[in-house]
Structure 1
């Protein structure tokens, strides 16, 4: 009879190792006679005080990339879209959709298309690395932007191309080609295309 309850006891032994358990009622096994008549048993009851967790911060020395990017203001032609949104989307305001990446070689980053599904904007860009690698571990920032009068909605950024080494910005998801997000865009409408 005790071998049957061994797994049950092991489960409780493992399950309660990280908390404070106080038994509040004794357990009682059912009484069994040969005629298969039983009297109801009683399972033990417990008060359980789970682990108390405090979250704090501390300062630690960790290795982080040291990127030196010199930003220079230059006049650049930026596409500006005036989209006539249906009334149910609410007020629109001028919004800049921007993609950028720090690369260690000559590259070109361009917004190819912007889609809307009604609840979400999808910005699809492409990153093409071409040309010479920069010397001494230098990095160059490439970017592109499109200005759209748009209502407030969720925006997802996708870049077709390989994620640059050491890129820590998680705002953009890198994909191999547009087929990876085709299901998301099939019910959408293109509001901008570079072509």
Structure 2
């Protein structure tokens, strides 16, 4: 079997959210991953944005690696259609495996779990535990408040501007996805343009 061109870890909600744009973007991101010969690494759920993202990736010919703790198999309805579904013992094991299997990370709209995973992988990057690109897709201003608060952290000197520069923030998925993949040195830019 052919290896994927890249492996993108996506964090997102296990609910669809109030704005239909969130679901549309989740589907579009999944389709983009699949059309470009990529692999989605995600939390393994079938509900909400997670399920839409995985289904769209699979429908477009991409591979999907789901990683879910035993305790969440019933609550998040583990996605049985994943190319690989790993049921692990703990959240720590889940997040470690997701990080190991990814070339880059992206947060879509989501709740507390999405926030926690995004902040953890960003923290790991600033500590030098990995050097993989980290992105935040700000769909219809969903993350405006969070980004403002993060800037307050810089303004109040609890963070440096260099820490903010470790993440790529965008509102256009068509621009942000290629940037993340290419920043990871995963696929030459001209290859993505030809696909």
Q: TM-score range by the shorter chain?
A: under 0.3
Tell me which protein shows more helix as a share of its residues. 2
Query: What TM-score do the two structures reach when normalised by structure 1?
Result: 0.27
**Larger Cα Rg: Structure 1 or Structure 2?**
1
Query: What TM-score do the two structures reach when normalised by structure 2?
Result: 0.27
